[in-house]
Amino acid sequence: MNLLTEPWLPFRHRDGRIEYRPPSALADPEVLDLALPRADFQGAAWQFLIALLQTAMTPEDTDAWLDRYQIPPSVAALDEALAPFAAAFVLDGDGPRFMQDLDPLEDVKEAPIAGLLIDSPGANGIKNNTDFFVKRGRVETVCPECAALALFTMQINAPAGGAGIRVGLRGGGPLTTLILPEDESKPLWHRLWPNVMPADAVGQPGQTWRPPKADDGKLFFWMTETRISDKKGTEVLPEQVHPLHAFWSMPRRYRLLFDETPGCCDLCGRETSHPVRRLRAKKQGANYDGPWRHPLTPYRRLNPKKLDELPLSSKGQPGGLGYRHWPGLVLEDEAVSGALPARVVTHHLHKYRMVQAARDDGETFEALFRRARLWVFGYDMDNMKPRGWYSVEMPLVGVPEAHQEILRDWVKRFVDLASEFTWTLRNQLKRAWFKRPEDAKGDMSQVDAQFFEATQLAFFKALRMMGETLRDETATPTLSPGIHRQWYLALKHEALSLFDAQAISGPLEGMKMQQLERITSARRYLQAYLNGSGKKIGKTVQTFAQVGSFELSSPTTQRDEESAA
Amino acid sequence: MSEVEQRAQPQGAEGEATKGETVEGYHYALTHQEAYELRLWWRRLVMDDKELKRYSKQRPYPRGVRATLRRCATIESVMLTEAFRHLWQALESKAWQEAPPRTSRDQRIETWAVIAAVACELRGETFDAPLGKRLGEKRPNTGDTPRMSDLRFQQLLDCHSGDELIRRFRRALKLADNAGVSVVRLADMVALWHREQRGQYRAEATQRFAFVMSDAYFKARALKSAAGD
């Protein structure tokens, strides 16, 4: 089975039909999206297609990228571009196999195919009977199509699995950020191409560009003898490999074993004549080390002052992904917070400027880049165990480079206010719930999560307005008091209604007086805090109002001040 | 409080130039017109000729009218009094003419009978002052005791029948020295309580009887202890 010519990927078409077609179908204007049976497969399949485009038709520079953007290739042209790489994408057979070991690994024991899925319980979990939530035995038979994608998913996300079981090139369970046009009716091509980088930007320092070839063992590791990492000094560093290798990294050694007994795939439900039920896996695959910066993954420096420390890839975290994380995913800030957005995002801003310039020259470009979204997804891993899968879309605001600093300041100001509000909200909820709040234990983070989720829309609205303010390149951009005020009011409203829902949604009759006293006094405190009344309590809000230069006046606050005086 | 009153007036008066001046801005269970008629009736009930002149050209009801009402301990007996008849007539001929009520006549009679029975105990009022606040204030000449204790206040929130409410609210007003409470706010709470007795709870917990009452009560208590520090 060849992954470039066989119809093995399910595509969603404009008329809603889902059809299995070869990867080149991505150039069909009727194709809107992929439709994989699992969320992590969906993310992996997108990256597979981006990697294919990046390998087969890397544009020389941003100009070439733009030309391609204007005139997409036909399906036939794409097939033609992919053809030279066919040898590297054979899933079975006796030659090199896609993302598998060249060696048949006959000396290792066979293992069930479920081991290829990140969310399967490990061997130890099965031995100790600890597969409480993620059960064993869910997946026993897998069709070759799903097996190929499972293999790719594992190789790009591979978590560290103990001695010799290597972690992926960008760490275990990394986040991926992709750029999507706002318009959902765009064909798949228009959503994949923005994530392709030109040859002069895709590589990392130390790498030199050369045209990719199917038999390049420094691009596709599976085409030659496996790089084994049993000794020191066998680590794979960025400068040793092809600039595009990051897309085809292979930290694990696997061999899929194809069965003769037909069966039904446990993942997609289709009948298959040669399913995969077992595989062989061996330790000590490629051991990635050094300053890797995968183009699709955001990184950060833990300590921005120590430039010799390696940047770490951002991972999914308990609590999910929200606008709290937005600055770190979009705005480069290596010096202060250490945020290093994915290189595709940073480069997107460059593309954005080029499109602007081309439009100013009178060329007819779609203004698609005015409105783009950022699709962030990835596992939340606890070592080998996945805690969850996150997939979020956020707006992507492009501003001129000179104004990035200002945008970062503004965003920080807004996010900080929200964080301060959650802090007080959480404390006052504790005061309402417990007799001795300082001794109350327990995880209150769900309050934060709820608050951030509830205010997300307001934030992105504010963000869009910030972007619009900064787009006109004036010398001293200022954010209008109205935007400040709206953000403040939205936060205040959500904080109060969240408190009410959490603290006083039950019947109050029959409650003990101490309870009622706690609830009412916590609510009064919260209200005073949110209204900015009182010298000490209202400090946060007063400061924000001062910075944003808007008036903190509403009928209720006026009255409160009056009676307090 | 008079400052607040003046401040509140222009807000409540918008579009209601004639009535706004004598009615609080926000109600939980009463309509604006109901509140207006109630206050008018209450003034004629408790004020003497001289005091009433400041507000109205009307004459007070004879003294016996209030006395009879005060002696009633049950809803049924209240309904038979002359005072209640005056109130009911005022509401029916004016307030409910302008805005037809959505509740049934039986329910309204019961609600307003309780209101009448409780309101007649109030001798002097403070504009916009809720009962809960008055009850949470420090009792004069004591160290740290509120006018009404926690336990009693809890019983007040826990009434199960109209008769019980009359008894407990009258007791509460006595502890409040029969003054310092707004008659409209007082009636508003009775009406809110009555509505919740029929199962019609507000969606927002902060708009419910128990919360409104206890919030005012504990706010007053908190103020007092803060001042004592």
**pLDDT tens string A15-66:** 999 999 999 999 999 999 999 999 999 999 999 999 999 999 999 988 888 8
Give the pLDDT of residue A525.
Answer: 93
For residue A501, what is the enclosing H or E element? helix A481-503
Summarize the confidence of residues B43-54 as an average pLDDT: 91
Q: Which of B4, B8, B205 sits opposite A500 (nearest CB)?
A: B205
Q: Which ipTM was obtained for this model?
A: 0.79
Q: Which of A510, A559, A563 sits opposite B158 (nearest CB)?
A: A510
B19 pLDDT tier (thresholds 50, 70, 90): very low
Tell me the per-residue pLDDT of A392-443, one tens digit each, with 9 for 90 and over: 999 888 777 778 888 888 999 999 999 999 999 999 999 999 988 888 888 8
- The answer to whether B210 contacts A505, with C-beta atoms less than 8 Å apart, is no
Tell me the per-residue pLDDT of B144-195, one tens digit each, with 9 for 90 and over: 889 999 889 999 998 999 999 999 999 999 999 999 999 999 999 999 999 9
**Would you say A143 and A8 are in contact if contact means Cβ atoms under 8 Å apart?**
no
Q: Which two tokens stand for residue A51?
A: 């990697």
- The answer to whether A524 contacts B211, with C-beta atoms less than 8 Å apart, is no
Q: Which two tokens stand for residue B212?
A: 């409104």
Tell me the per-residue pLDDT of A434-486, one tens digit each, with 9 for 90 and over: 988 888 888 888 899 899 999 999 999 999 889 888 877 667 788 889 999 99
d(CA A247, CA A56): 12
**Which parts of A126-182 are beta strand (E)?**
176-181
Tell me the per-residue pLDDT of B107-155, one tens digit each, with 9 for 90 and over: 999 999 999 999 999 999 998 899 999 999 988 888 788 999 988 999 9
| pLDDT over 90 percentage in chain A | 47
Q: Which two tokens stand for residue B189?
A: 């709470």
- The answer to whether A524 contacts B215, with C-beta atoms less than 8 Å apart, is yes
pTM value is: 0.79
- The answer to whether A509 contacts B222, with C-beta atoms less than 8 Å apart, is no
- The answer to whether B7 contacts A508, with C-beta atoms less than 8 Å apart, is no
**Would you say B43 and B56 are in contact if contact means Cβ atoms under 8 Å apart?**
yes
- The answer to whether A562 contacts B4, with C-beta atoms less than 8 Å apart, is yes
d(CA A366, CA A182): 13
B215 pLDDT tier (thresholds 50, 70, 90): very high
Residue from B6, B126, B157 to probe the interface with A (highest A Cβ count within 10 Å): B157
Q: How far A513 CA sits from the closest chain B CA (Å)?
A: 6
**DSSP helix/strand/coil, B67:** helix
d(CA A299, CA A333): 11
Going by C-alpha positions, the residue among A156, A196, A52 that lies closest to residue A378 is A156
Establish, for the pair of chains A and B, how many residue pairs have beta carbons separated by less than 8 Å.
55
Q: Half-sphere exposure of A450 toward its Cβ, with a 13 Å CA cutoff?
A: 14
**For residue B157, what is the nearest residue in chain A, using CA coordinates?**
A509
User: Which residue type sits at A497?
Assistant: S
Give the pLDDT of residue A366.
Answer: 61
Q: Which residues of A touch B208 (CB under 8 A)?
A: 508
Cα dihedral B24, B30, B33, B35 sign: negative
**DSSP helix/strand/coil, A184:** coil
- The answer to whether B210 contacts A516, with C-beta atoms less than 8 Å apart, is yes
Q: How far A509 CA sits from the closest chain B CA (Å)?
A: 6
**For residue A497, what is the nearest residue in chain B, using CA coordinates?**
B204
pLDDT higher than 60, residue B17: no
- The answer to whether B154 contacts A517, with C-beta atoms less than 8 Å apart, is no
d(CA A271, CA A275): 9
User: What residues have CB less than 8 Å from A266, skipping those under 6 apart?
Assistant: A138, A139, A140, A141, A142
- The answer to whether A508 contacts B150, with C-beta atoms less than 8 Å apart, is no
**For residue B215, what is the nearest residue in chain A, using CA coordinates?**
A520
A245 pLDDT tier (thresholds 50, 70, 90): very high
**For residue A503, what is the nearest residue in chain B, using CA coordinates?**
B205
Partners of A299 in beta bridges: A313, A340
Summarize the confidence of residues A323-347 as an average pLDDT: 88
B196-228 as b/e: b if 16+ CB within 10 A: bbeeeebeebeebbbbbbbbbbbbbbbbbeeee
B208 lies within 8 A of chain A by CB: yes
**Would you say A18 and A12 are in contact if contact means Cβ atoms under 8 Å apart?**
yes
B11 pLDDT tier (thresholds 50, 70, 90): very low
Kindly report the number of other CB atoms within 10 A of residue A365's CB atom.
16
